Amino acid sequence: MTLAEVKALLSAEVICGKDKLNLPIKSVCAGDLLSDLLAFSHNKTLLLTGLNNAQVIRTAEIIDLAAIIFVRGKRPHSDMVELAEEKGIPLLVTRLPLYESCGILYCAGLREEKPHKGF
């Protein structure tokens, strides 16, 4: 599935990274705890989050996440968008809540990441 297909499924709006909509999305993670993402997520995973601050972008850059979708219509601030553009991370916003967003992507065949087997 591409990021464009994810965008369509969640009726999401692209805030930045329009040129990266053909990015393949193979796994998804969801949550608001950045240390958990740092510990357990994989490279090139899509993140769904309700957390709306610059550390989300920083964390995504450190662990090479594919893209970030903010749920429940939370729009990133301009300094976050600037940072994401600089780091080349696409940002999207969906009006759907986290649980529903996850459910839609799961039903469409996207699965969670496989458990991390350590470093």
Q: Could you list the residues that contact other proteins (CB under 8 A)?
A: 32-36, 38-39, 43, 51, 53-56, 58-59, 61-64, 79, 87, 118-119
Nearer to other proteins, 8 or 64 (CB): 64
Q: What does the chain come to in residues? A: 119
Say whether 74 sits in a helix, a strand or coil.
Answer: coil
Nearer to other proteins, 7 or 83 (CB): 83
User: What is the closest distance, in whole angstroms, from the C-beta atom of residue 61 to other proteins in the complex?
Assistant: 6
Nearer to other proteins, 8 or 39 (CB): 39
User: What is the closest distance, in whole angstroms, from the C-beta atom of residue 11 to other proteins in the complex?
Assistant: 25
Nearer to other proteins, 41 or 101 (CB): 41
User: What is the closest distance, in whole angstroms, from the C-beta atom of residue 9 to other proteins in the complex?
Assistant: 25
Do the strands 13-16 and 91-93 form a parallel or antiparallel pair, or are they unpaired?
antiparallel
